[in-house]
Amino acid sequence: MNGCIFCKIISGEAPAFRVLEDEHCVAFLDIAPANPGHCLVVPRQHASNLWEISEEAYEHVSRTVHRVATLLRVALAPDGINVNNSTGEAAGQEVLHLHSHVVPRWRGDDLRPMWSASRASSHELERLQARLIAVR
């Protein structure tokens, strides 16, 4: 995809600190990390977001995320890991090439959750459940 920075990284046209790659995906360190070791996992085949990638291609992304999380656990010994993917501007997606963030976490690292939630009513959950089941 013309102008896509992640496509340029994949092709070698743009630099990146790669940590893992195979025929389906590339994983590299985020240049603006939330925490040390923050990695991005991108599919080699361009897909703008989760709605555009095939299930099969997304399976490869998920496997690579798991492998990167394991690398981070062994190399950095974090207390936890956050995995995040955003689809669409409303969700905070800035680069229009599907990517998963794999962020090592340590107790007291002061990273904030993406949202604060309140408990939904049973009525609201039943209504949403019915809408979801109706379209599957």
Q: What percent of the chain has pLDDT over 90?
A: 93
Tokens standing for residue 74: 């062994």
pLDDT of 117: 86
Q: Which domains does the chain have, with CATH numbers?
A: 5-134 (3.30.428.10)
Phi, psi of 18 (to 5 degrees): -70, 140
Q: What is the pTM of this model?
A: 0.93
Please identify every residue annotated as catalytic: 99
19 pLDDT more than 80: yes
The answer to whether the beta carbons of residues 38 and 129 sit under 8 Å apart is: no
State the average pLDDT over residues 105-132: 93
pLDDT tens across 22-50, in order?
999 999 999 999 999 999 999 999 999 99
The answer to whether 20 touches 64, Cβ cutoff 8 Å, is: yes
74, with CB counted inside 10 A (0-12, 13-18, 19+), is exposed
CA distances 133 to 4, 116, 120, Å, are 36, 26, 18
